[in-house]
Amino acid sequence: MRKLLASAVLGAALALSGLARATSPFDAAVAAYDRADYDRARMLWEEALSQGDWEAARNLGTIYRRGLGVPADPGRAATYYKGAAEHGVIGAEVNLAEMYFAGAGVTRDIAEGKRLLKDAAAHGSAPAQYRLKQVEDAEKQGKPPPPIN
Which residue segments constitute the domains of the chain, with CATH numbers given?
53-140 (1.25.40.10)
- What integer is the mean pLDDT of 56-69? 98
Distances (CA, A) of 64 to 23, 89, 90: 24, 17, 18
What is the pLDDT, as a whole number, of residue 67?
Answer: 98
Q: What is the C-alpha to C-alpha distance for residues 36 and 148, in angstroms, rounded to an integer?
A: 23
Residue 46: band (very low, low, confident or very high) from pLDDT cuts 50, 70, 90: very high
What is the pLDDT, as a whole number, of residue 22?
Answer: 54
State the DSSP code for 73. Answer: -
Amino acid identity at 87: H
Q: Is the pTM higher than 0.85?
A: no
> At 36, which helix (H) or strand (E)?
none
Asked if residue 8 has pLDDT above 80, the reply is no
Residue 147: band (very low, low, confident or very high) from pLDDT cuts 50, 70, 90: confident
Q: How many residues does the chain have?
A: 149
Q: What is the mean pLDDT of the chain?
A: 88
Distances (CA, A) of 81 to 18, 34, 97: 34, 21, 10
Residue 148: band (very low, low, confident or very high) from pLDDT cuts 50, 70, 90: confident
What is the pLDDT, as a whole number, of residue 34?
Answer: 97
Task: Please state which of the ranges 2-6, 54-58, 94-98 shows the lowest mean pLDDT.
Answer: 2-6
